[in-house]
């Protein structure tokens, strides 16, 4: 009664359903911000933790002070900046790239199995890198450049083969799986005919490890991410429109094939750069997106949250691989151990829901 008396006569009361819709929208937006912020904080905490643990323990404040040059201590700076920071930064950057690219693939192609691990992108990079290592005894920056080229060329080949008055997710995934198996077969053939030392070097790269990136590869990755990650977030609205279906997206004025090509290009570059720097770190792109979407309850684009989840997975896997096992292992071994059970569960779930074909 008091609200009715205080309200001016010319100001109508807002309908009750409208108020509820606005409150619900604000609550969902707040949830997205809070969850994404928490994921970012966890990723940063793990980033610091990877530099704290080792044969010479360092406190969190010493890590932060040395990393951001808040104080000078030669002994701490050597341990943090020279020994541990490159690996931690690589893990963070690779996780961000793989997490975001994986979710773009899955939303764009409408398939939870549409991961760079399965549609030929990573296997193309792996095949080119293996040939370079075994046949030409390449190493370092050359291997990274060849892997980047292989990922881009394989993605281009899949896109061209899948084109038929446009590209649909189902056709892209099927052709990508076929191309992936072709590259895997070639990689196996090359390794089988190689000398033992060359095969061991190739297999070390193929497992994937965030500790193998050199300074130049890391610098290229960071500069590229500074461009590609914001660009992906800007294109997130187009991704949401495409999810409505091609007809609905065209009705809203979106050039669907051009938008799909742009999103695929950005996603391929993200995974190609990450693979070039650290090798094919398995399953991160597959599992980061679904975890982020579940945490956000389907609200928002989820791209930034997926990037943070990817970073958390890679940083945590690197911690486990380096310090929690009897012998230090490559990062890809741990992510593979995490991702394989998830893949089995995903395949069973997809088949039960009738989406597995």
pLDDT of residue 310: 96
pLDDT of residue 1: 45
0.95 surpassed by pTM: no
* pLDDT lower than 70: segments of the chain: 1-17, 24, 350-357
Rounded-to-integer distance, Cα 108 and Cα 240, Å: 9
Inter-residue contact 147 to 131 (CB < 8 Å): no
317 three-state secondary structure: helix
Measured at the alpha carbon of residue 231, what is the angle toward residues 221 and 116, in degrees to the nearest 5? Answer: 60
pLDDT of residue 51: 95
* C-alpha dihedral (298, 300, 301, 306), degrees to nearest 10: -70
Token reading at 24: 């619900």
pLDDT of residue 357: 44
pLDDT of residue 11: 54
Inter-residue contact 98 to 310 (CB < 8 Å): yes
pLDDT of residue 10: 54
Q: Please, what are the domains in the chain?
A: 26-352 (1.10.3470.10)
Over the Cα atoms of the chain, what is R_g?
Answer: 23
Burial class, 282, CB count within 10 angstroms (exposed 0-12 / middle 13-18 / buried 19+): buried
Token reading at 143: 């291997």
Inter-residue contact 165 to 140 (CB < 8 Å): no
């Amino acid at each position: 009664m008091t609200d009715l008396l205080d309200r001016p006569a010319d100001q109508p009361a807002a309908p009750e359903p409208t108020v509820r819709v606005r409150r619900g929208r604000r609550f969902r937006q707040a949830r997205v911000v809070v969850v994404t912020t928490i994921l970012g904080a966890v990723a940063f905490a793990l980033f610091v933790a990877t530099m704290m643990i080792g044969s010479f323990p360092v406190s969190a404040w010493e890590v932060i002070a040395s990393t951001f040059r808040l104080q000078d201590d030669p002994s701490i700076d050597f341990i943090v900046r020279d020994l541990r920071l490159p690996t931690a930064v690589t893990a963070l950057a690779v996780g961000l790239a793989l997490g975001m690219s994986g979710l773009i693939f899955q939303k764009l192609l409408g398939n939870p199995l549409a991961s760079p691990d399965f549609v030929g992108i990573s296997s193309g990079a792996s095949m080119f890198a293996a040939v370079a290592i075994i046949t030409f005894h390449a190493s370092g920056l050359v291997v990274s450049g060849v892997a980047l080229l292989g990922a881009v060329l394989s993605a281009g080949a899949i896109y061209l083969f899948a084109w038929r008055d446009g590209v649909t997710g189902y056709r892209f995934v099927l052709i990508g799986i076929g191309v992936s198996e072709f590259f895997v077969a070639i990689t196996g053939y090359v390794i089988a005919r190689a000398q033992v030392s060359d095969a061991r070097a190739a297999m070390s790269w193929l497992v994937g490890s965030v500790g193998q990136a050199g300074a130049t590869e890391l610098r290229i990755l960071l500069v590229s991410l500074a461009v590609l990650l914001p660009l992906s977030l800007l294109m997130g609205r187009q991704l949401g429109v495409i999810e409505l279906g091609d007809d609905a997206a065209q009705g809203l004025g979106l050039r669907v094939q051009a938008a799909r090509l742009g999103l695929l290009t950005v996603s391929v570059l993200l995974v190609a750069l990450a693979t070039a720097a650290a090798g094919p770190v398995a399953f991160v792109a597959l599992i980061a997106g679904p975890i982020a979407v579940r945490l956000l309850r389907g609200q928002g684009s989820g791209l930034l949250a997926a990037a943070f989840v990817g970073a958390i997975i890679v940083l945590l896997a690197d911690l486990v691989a380096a310090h929690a096992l009897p012998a230090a292992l490559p990062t890809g071994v741990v992510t593979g151990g995490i991702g394989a059970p998830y893949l089995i569960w995903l395949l069973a779930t997809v088949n039960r829901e009738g989406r597995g074909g």
